[in-house]
């Protein structure tokens, strides 16, 4: 028997950074996001011996362990090891894991967290574990942020599990995912107005987030004010989206980016600035770098009659425009014969 899973990557429109500790415990955070048709895929095949193999198809890496081995975190395939240690060790059954993703780590689309969610989904399906969507997202956060100590927020895990458009509230004691009921005409127009552009490089989000946290804890500059304002903008963007005020939505995307950049100097780079200003000069209403910043994908909101012009200008400056559509299904698992 083979079990497979896929979980969607996400676009965060606003609020990213307010979901990071200690801000989230002290002041509460909010994020407006959606998932898209780029995925992390994982497969699990049961073996007749005591071996565990893990293969990353993206990086052509394969590792082999014994079921009784102590899985040490050494920087190679640690995400898979952590999931195995939490959910599969002690069953005495040999396992083959395969995984690949439509976007690399550091792309700003939440790929690492999405891989963890997909792996948890595999083992849940295999063992018939009674885990809710909230349970899976919380376990993914625990594995990635606590067990492995990877710096980051909470939004990626919940987006990957639930899928679709969500306004997510983060507090000291609970996370609440509010699915948004958006009219089809609004969704189609939003899809038509968005451009996704790869900047040409990935980044280590943990370094940027570490700086952001230090700036917040030290009370440096206007970091706190920017984060508080970003929460207000996120709420306004949610309301504009539900009401179909997409011109306002695009303008608020620009305001969110201005405040996001105040959290840490590494969030933007000269390359990102050139691409963003190029888009604005050619008619874009707003945009932002996705994820922690420093590289990855740039999201741009464009009037329909300027979209092709903006896309051409971005590619002339080294950007790579990528086609995408929205995803509404979240984590999905299934069984295959083989």
Look at residues 181, 203, 231 and tell me which one is the last residue of a structural domain: 181
- DSSP 8-state secondary structure symbol assigned to residue 18: T
User: 45-49, 87-91, 149-153, 310-314 — which is least confidently predicted?
Assistant: 87-91
**What confidence score (pLDDT) does residue 179 get?**
98
Q: In the chain, which ranges are E strands? A: 2-14, 29-46, 51-56, 61-66, 95-101, 166-170, 175-179, 194-198, 286-289, 297-301, 320-322, 326-327, 332-336
Look at residues 144, 164, 181 and tell me which one is the last residue of a structural domain: 181
Shared domain for 222 and 107, answered yes or no, is: no
Looking at the predicted structure, is the pLDDT value of residue 104 above 80? no
In a domain, residue 335? The reply is: no
Mean pLDDT of 202-220: 78
In a domain, residue 78? The reply is: yes
Shared domain for 222 and 176, answered yes or no, is: no
Q: Which residue is catalytic, options 19, 102, 156, 236?
A: 156
In a domain, residue 332? The reply is: no
In a domain, residue 271? The reply is: yes
Looking at the predicted structure, is the pLDDT value of residue 34 above 90? yes
Shared domain for 205 and 318, answered yes or no, is: yes
Q: Which domain holds residue 271?
A: 184-326
In a domain, residue 81? The reply is: yes
Shared domain for 311 and 251, answered yes or no, is: yes
Q: How many structural domains comprise the chain? A: 2
Nearest-angstrom CA–CA distance, 302 and 80: 39
DSSP 224-286: HHHHHHHHHHHHHHHHHHHHT-HHHHHHHHHHHHHHHTTS-GGG--HHHHHHHHHHHHTT--E
User: 4-13, 76-85, 227-236 — which is least confidently predicted?
Assistant: 76-85
Shared domain for 135 and 222, answered yes or no, is: no
Look at residues 155, 181, 207 and tell me which one is the last residue of a structural domain: 181
**What confidence score (pLDDT) does residue 338 get?**
65
In a domain, residue 336? The reply is: no
DSSP-based three-state secondary structure for 108: coil
**What confidence score (pLDDT) does residue 204 get?**
61
Looking at the predicted structure, is the pLDDT value of residue 316 above 80? yes
Q: How confident is the model at residue 90 (pLDDT cuts 50, 70, 90)?
A: low
In a domain, residue 245? The reply is: yes
Shared domain for 121 and 188, answered yes or no, is: no
Q: How confident is the model at residue 129 (pLDDT cuts 50, 70, 90)?
A: very high
Mean pLDDT of 260-273: 89
Mean pLDDT of 236-258: 97
Shared domain for 160 and 203, answered yes or no, is: no
Secondary structure element (H or E) that encloses residue 133, with its range: helix 133-141
Q: Domain holding 236: CATH number? A: 3.30.70.890
**What confidence score (pLDDT) does residue 68 get?**
84
Looking at the predicted structure, is the pLDDT value of residue 205 above 70? no
Shared domain for 13 and 69, answered yes or no, is: yes
Assess whether 156 carries a catalytic annotation: yes
Q: How confident is the model at residue 61 (pLDDT cuts 50, 70, 90)?
A: confident
Give the phi and the psi of residue 263 in degrees, each rounded to 5. Answer: -75, -35
Shared domain for 171 and 255, answered yes or no, is: no
Q: What contacts 282, CB < 8 A, 6 or more positions away?
A: 306, 309, 310, 313
Shared domain for 282 and 149, answered yes or no, is: no
Q: Domain holding 166: CATH number? A: 3.30.230.10
In a domain, residue 7? The reply is: yes
Shared domain for 192 and 58, answered yes or no, is: no
Q: In 125-249, which ranges are E strands? A: 166-170, 175-179, 194-198
Shared domain for 150 and 202, answered yes or no, is: no
């Amino acid at each position: 028997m083979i079990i497979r899973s896929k979980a969607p990557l996400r676009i965060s429109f606003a609020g990213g950074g307010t979901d990071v500790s200690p801000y989230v415990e002290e002041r509460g955070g909010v994020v407006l996001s959606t998932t898209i048709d780029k995925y992390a895929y994982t497969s699990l095949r049961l073996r007749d011996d005591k071996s565990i193999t893990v293969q990353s198809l993206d990086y052509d890496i394969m590792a082999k362990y014994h079921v009784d081995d102590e899985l040490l975190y050494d920087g190679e395939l640690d995400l898979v090891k952590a999931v195995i240690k939490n959910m599969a060790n002690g069953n005495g059954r040999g396992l083959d894991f395969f995984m690949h993703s439509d976007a690399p780590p550091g792309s700003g689309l939440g790929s690492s967290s999405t891989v963890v969610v997909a792996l948890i989904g595999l083992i849940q399906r295999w063992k018939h574990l009674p885990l809710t969507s909230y349970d899976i997202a919380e376990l993914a956060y625990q594995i990635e942020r606590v067990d492995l100590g990877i710096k980051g927020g909470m939004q990626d895990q919940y987006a990957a599990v639930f899928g679709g458009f969500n306004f997510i509230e983060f507090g000291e004691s609970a996370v609440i995912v509010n699915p948004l009921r958006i009219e089809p005409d609004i969704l189609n127009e939003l899809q038509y107005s968005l451009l996704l552009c790869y900047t040409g490089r990935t980044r280590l989000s943990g370094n940027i987030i570490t700086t952001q946290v230090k700036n917040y804890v030290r009370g440096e500059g206007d970091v706190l004010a920017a984060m508080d304002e970003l929460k207000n903008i996120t709420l306004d963007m949610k309301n504009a989206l539900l009401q179909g005020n997409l011109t306002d939505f695009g303008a608020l995307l620009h305001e969110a980016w201005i405040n996001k950049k105040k959290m840490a100097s590494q969030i933007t780079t000269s390359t990102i600035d050139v691409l963003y200003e190029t888009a604005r000069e050619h008619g874009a209403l707003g945009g932002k770098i996705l994820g922690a910043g420093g590289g990855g994908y740039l999201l741009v909101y464009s009037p329909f009659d300027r979209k092709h012009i903006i896309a051409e200008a971005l590619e002339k400056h080294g950007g790579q425009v990528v086609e995408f559509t929205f995803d509404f299904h979240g984590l999905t698992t299934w069984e295959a014969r083989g």
